């Protein structure tokens, strides 16, 4: 099972360069997310998409743009990379689950993208 797949795994950028992180999920989930993880800061939400065609800002959206290309894909773009954007980026997805004992959304994560901006 692929789950959530994100590329690239590692990337080094120069300050001012642009790049796009790609993410795809094969679980037919409506919601998708981009987080960044930094030492001592935990996981912080950058943007999320509740469904195809919608996107919303999270806690730390500045310097980023996103595109929900279709239900499967959700990309994150850095238009002009800055050293402060050096981080590990995680894409995630979640879908509505309703069973006798659980009603909610479980979030599933990709393997991460390590980005260094020099």
Partner 1 sequence: AQSVTQLDSHVSVSEGTPVLLRCNYSSSYSPSLFWYVQHPNKGLQLLLKYTSAATLVKGINGFEAEFKKSETSFHLTKPSAHMSDAAEYFCVVSARRSQSGTYKYIFGTGTRLKVLA
What is the binding site for partner 1 (CB under 8 A)?
4, 31, 42-43, 45, 48, 50, 56, 90, 94, 99-102, 104-112, 114
What's the rounded Cα separation, in Å, for the pair 8 and 71? 20
At closest approach, how far in Å is the CB of 102 from partner 1? Answer: 4
Minimum distance from residue 46 beta carbon to partner 1 (Å): 13
Three-state DSSP string of 60-86: CCCCEEEEECCCCEEEEEECCCCHHHC
Shortest distance (Å) from residue 79 CB to partner 1: 25
Looking at the Cβ atoms of 75 and 93, the one nearer to partner 1 is 93
Q: Which is nearer to partner 1, 48 or 74 (CB)?
A: 48
What is the spatial distance between Cα 36 and Cα 97, in angstroms, rounded to a whole number? Answer: 25
Nearer to partner 1, 3 or 63 (CB): 3
Is 95 in a helix, a strand, or coil? strand
CB-CB contact of 118 with 15 (8 Å): yes
* Shorter beta-carbon distance to partner 1: residue 19 or 107: 107
Least distance CB 80 / partner 1 (angstroms): 27
């Amino acid at each position: 099972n692929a789950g959530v797949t994100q590329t690239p795994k590692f990337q080094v950028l120069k300050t001012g360069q642009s790049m796009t992180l790609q993410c795809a999920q094969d679980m037919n989930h409506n919601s998708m997310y981009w987080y960044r993880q930094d030492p001592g800061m935990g996981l912080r939400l950058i943007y999320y998409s509740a469904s195809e065609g919608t996107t919303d800002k999270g806690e730390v959206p500045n310097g980023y743009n996103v595109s929900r290309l279709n239900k499967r894909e959700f990309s994150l773009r850095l238009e002009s990379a800055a050293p402060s954007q050096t981080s590990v980026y995680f894409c995630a997805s979640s879908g509505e689950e309703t069973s006798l004992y659980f009603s909610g959304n479980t979030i599933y994560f990709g393997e991460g993208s390590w980005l260094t901006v020099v």
